Amino acid sequence: MENLKLKRRSLVDDVVNLFLKDVEIGLYTYGEKLPSQKELATRYNVSLIVIREALTKLSAVGMISFHQGKGTYLKKSDQGTSVSPDFSSLIFHNISNLLEIVEARQIVERETSSLAAKRRTNQNILEIEKAIDEMKKSLNDYENFAKWDVEFHIAIAKASNNQVLQKIIMLLIDSYRAEVSKFFKIPGIIEKVLKEHESIYHHILNGNSSEASFIMRTHFELPEKVFSVKIAESEN
């Protein structure tokens, strides 16, 4: 089952990259309606499920927008987050760039956690608490834990009240979800991550911006070590 999921995710990333290249050569026009999902599936020779997931990913980074009853539109270049094909190929499941992705997340999320401590609303706090509560319920379910780990980081990004940072974080997170899920299989990792999440949450709750930023920085040190080993093994 896991291999099937990885295969489909790889197809989704292939479609995203092909779509971005088609945008670059002018096949699709900014601000205009895109072909139907069925037509896109035919063009890229994939299933409708793959097309829907690819469009969801493109929507998450601000490239396209869905309009109920009207269709899907390519956002105007000054409205969305324009992701070049070169950048997309760098982040979408290239094992050799795992450390760069983690490093990028560390840099960006240090700032979002600091901003979150200064700008968070009561609703933001409730969303962060919800993610932590669900992670506590998922100590024996690494896939569900991974899902709520993502929600935790997205909730903090939202609390920063900076939409650009939020989109960047969502893009980086989505670029290596499969690897993160495997990361939580390692004994002791879930408990350590949860403890760090609770510490970050308390600093954000209490408005301690520098402390929240510091803990978020150290939060990424363990995945850096784990992925360093993984990359070394893949090169042997």
Q: Any idea what the CATH number is for the domain that residue 167 is in?
A: 1.20.120.530
Task: Tell whether 160 and 105 lie within a shared domain.
Answer: yes
| pTM for the full predicted model | 0.65
The mean pLDDT of 205-231, rounded to a whole number, is: 89
Task: Give domain status of residue 231, yes or no.
Answer: yes
Contact assessment for residue 165 and residue 112, using Cβ atoms and an 8 Å cutoff: yes
What pLDDT is recorded for position 163?
87
Average pLDDT value for the chain: 84
Statement: residue 86 has pLDDT above 60: no
If one counts the domains in the chain, the total is 2
State the residue range of the domain holding 131: 94-235
Residue 82 pLDDT greater than 70, yes or no:
no
- Residue 35 resides in a domain: yes
Considering the domain boundaries, does residue 141 fall inside one?
yes
pLDDT at 197: 97
Residue 27 C-alpha from the chain's centroid = 27
Tell me, what CATH number does 16's domain have? 1.10.10.10
Distance, in Å, from the CA atom of 188 to the CA atom of 90, rounded to the nearest integer, reads 30
Query: 180 and 199 in one domain?
Result: yes
Residue that terminates a domain, selected from 38, 56, 83: 83
**pLDDT over 70, % of the chain:** 82
Are 138 and 209 found together in one domain?
yes
109 shares its domain with 194: yes
Same domain, yes or no: 141 and 215: yes
- For residues 49 and 27, state if they share a domain: yes
Report strand pairing: 64-67 vs 71-74. antiparallel
Q: Do residue 113 and residue 211 come from a single domain? A: yes
Q: Are residues 166 and 157 in contact, defined by beta-carbon separation less than 8 angstroms?
A: yes
- 111 plus 223 within the same structural domain: yes
Query: Which residue blocks in the chain are alpha helix, DSSP H?
Result: 2-24, 37-44, 48-60, 85-91, 98-119, 122-136, 142-159, 163-174, 177-183, 189-205, 209-219, 221-235
Position 129 scores a pLDDT of: 97
User: What would the pLDDT profile of 145-185 be if each residue is shown by its tens digit?
Assistant: 998 999 999 999 999 999 888 888 888 887 776 677 788 88
- 102 & 171 share domain: yes
pLDDT given at position 9: 55
Distance CA 140, CA 185 (A): 10
Residue 84 pLDDT > 60, yes or no? no
At residue 79, the pLDDT reads 45
Comparison of pLDDT for 80 and 130, the residue scoring more: 130
Any domain includes 88 = no
pLDDT value for 34: 95
| Residues 150 and 211 reside in one and the same domain | yes
13 occurs within a structural domain = yes
pLDDT, position 138: 95
The span from the CA of 144 to the CA of 138, in Å, is 6
Last residue of a domain, one of 20, 48, 83: 83
185 is a domain residue: yes
